[in-house]
A and B are shown apart, each in its own frame.
Chain A
């Protein structure tokens, strides 16, 4: 499109397409997306009768959520909650302890090539599977109960924390590292004086965030037998005890809120 001659200005204007500039491509992609949507929606065969019945149960659940019953199953809830919380704390601490060396090893600006590749390998391994799948395997190996849950959460924490820590270290201001190196400092001293001050606040933030995630996950892995509040919740739903299930969900939401709130407070305090 070129500029027009002064007395004959165009009276219409259309915004040029941004992503798919070729008209044919654009239409192909639009129709493709439409066909996919139709096919995808068709795969969901809805049993309307079942849904209709379910509405009643759904309403019962809403009622259960609004009038939660903390007392009837309190012993089970307390046990599940204790397992979840202890699992969360221990696995987060273990995760941090293992993640720090791996994270340093996976930072290109600090680690030699072989160490870098090994650490990146561990991170990829830890990140490639869902918590649930790892929990299934670990439960099969270590038996039911929170110990398998602890291992699951610690293992998945490693991938999360080391990856983000490594990225942080790689983003460190190189001039500060250079300056400390210029004083004749050794590798440990560089880590201690140039890297640590830069990444420490972020590491604290990430650890707290992971604590939050670990708690939420601890409520899930119980479904496959790895201990925690998830098992209690599963039983409650299986028995159609929606008021107990509602109580458990409310506790989970409340704890997540508390953790999130206090972690933002701690983060501000650290910085």
Chain B
């Protein structure tokens, strides 16, 4: 279980990315984090596993406060949190297998990882995860030889290889076509249900968020402006999050063309 309490982040440049963000995620809950670009979604996710240092507030996973950890303890906490990235962030020149096994880095000593000598359990788990994401034949391919959708599947396998207690997902579909996007979202959703794994999915595509998450949190200018069920996401709420737009007409359009064009949105942009 994850609990954020009054989490704030101000960058060294003086930009405030998060203001007093407070919410809880229970086991097995898939939370969609939506908001205009620059609203602080990415910062929020990175604060949780401390790729970005939060300025204030607490982050509690199980019963450790992540915001105070340092060095070894921080690395031990990070290995409990799986992360899936926007542009896949695979190590391009390593094989698929090495990428998946890199999920175990927080558990194995450096010499073992250097020699690529992982325990039999780690290896067989990696094979089974690759099978689950449908890439069992690809384990010896180099990551840069794969297509976008395949790479993201490897990214999912890497995160699950950590046996995480929490999944952080940063714009998993941003560079994928609509069909692959749906497959990837379905894969993440089923993995979470199967393991009773909580997840925070940062996603700008409102339609996908509504379809594949249990709960939606709307972020605008670093503040939580909506927190509720996907069904409660009315046009009024969307306007509160994104600014004015003809939402009914937009829903009829292709989901991936939901570029917002109104000047009201741009106001939130600079934050």
Q: Do chains A and B touch in the complex (CB under 8 A)?
A: yes
Would you call A11 and B136 a contact (CB within 8 A)?
A: no
- Interface size on B, as a range, is 10 to 19
Instruction: Tell me the complex Cα distance, A15–B136, Å.
Output: 16
For B98, what are the chain A residues with a Cβ–Cβ distance below 8 Å? 15
Q: Kindly report which residue of chain A lies nearest to residue B120, judged by CB atoms.
A: A11
Would you call A13 and B123 a contact (CB within 8 A)?
A: yes
Q: Which of A1-21 contact B (CB under 8 A)?
A: 1-4, 6, 9-16
Minimum Cβ distance to chain A for residue B145 (Å)? 13
For A2, what are the chain B residues with a Cβ–Cβ distance below 8 Å? 137
Using a Cβ cutoff of 8 Å, how many contacts connect chains A and B?
A: 37
Q: Kindly report which residue of chain A lies nearest to residue B118, judged by CB atoms.
A: A13
Interface string of A1-44 (1 = CB under 8 A from B): 11110100111111110000000000000000000000000000
For B124, what are the chain A residues with a Cβ–Cβ distance below 8 Å? 9-11
Interface string of B139-157 (1 = CB under 8 A from A): 1100000000000000000
For A14, what are the chain B residues with a Cβ–Cβ distance below 8 Å? 116
Q: Does B84 contact A (CB under 8 A)?
A: no
Chain A facing B: main interface SS:
loop
Q: Kindly report which residue of chain A lies nearest to residue B135, judged by CB atoms.
A: A3
Contact of A10 among B101, B123, B137 (CB under 8 A): B123
Known: A15-B95, A15-B98, A16-B140. A3 touches B131 (CB 8 A): yes
Would you call A12 and B120 a contact (CB within 8 A)?
A: yes
- Interface size on A, as a range, is 10 to 19
Q: Kindly report which residue of chain A lies nearest to residue B121, judged by CB atoms.
A: A11
Would you call A3 and B95 a contact (CB within 8 A)?
A: no
Minimum Cβ distance to chain A for residue B126 (Å)? 7
Contact of B128 among A1, A9, A13, A15 (CB under 8 A): A9
For A4, what are the chain B residues with a Cβ–Cβ distance below 8 Å? 127, 136
Instruction: Tell me the complex Cα distance, A11–B136, Å.
Output: 14
Would you call B136 and A13 a contact (CB within 8 A)?
A: no
For B127, what are the chain A residues with a Cβ–Cβ distance below 8 Å? 4, 9-10, 13
Q: Kindly report which residue of chain B lies nearest to residue A12, judged by CB atoms.
A: B123
Instruction: Tell me the complex Cα distance, A10–B95, Å.
Output: 17
Q: Does B77 contact A (CB under 8 A)?
A: no
For B137, what are the chain A residues with a Cβ–Cβ distance below 8 Å? 2-3
**Most chain B CB neighbours (cut-off 10 Å) among A4, A10, A13:** A13
Q: Which of A145-172 contact B (CB under 8 A)?
A: none
Instruction: Tell me the complex Cα distance, A32–B124, Å.
Output: 37
Q: Kindly report which residue of chain A lies nearest to residue B141, judged by CB atoms.
A: A16
With A13-B118, A15-B98 given, can you name 12 additional A-B contacts, CB distance below 8 Å?
A3-B137, A10-B123, A11-B120, A11-B121, A11-B123, A12-B120, A13-B116, A13-B127, A13-B139, A15-B97, A15-B116, A16-B95
**Sampled A-B contacts (7; CB under 8 Å):** A3-B136, A9-B127, A10-B123, A10-B124, A10-B127, A11-B120, A16-B140
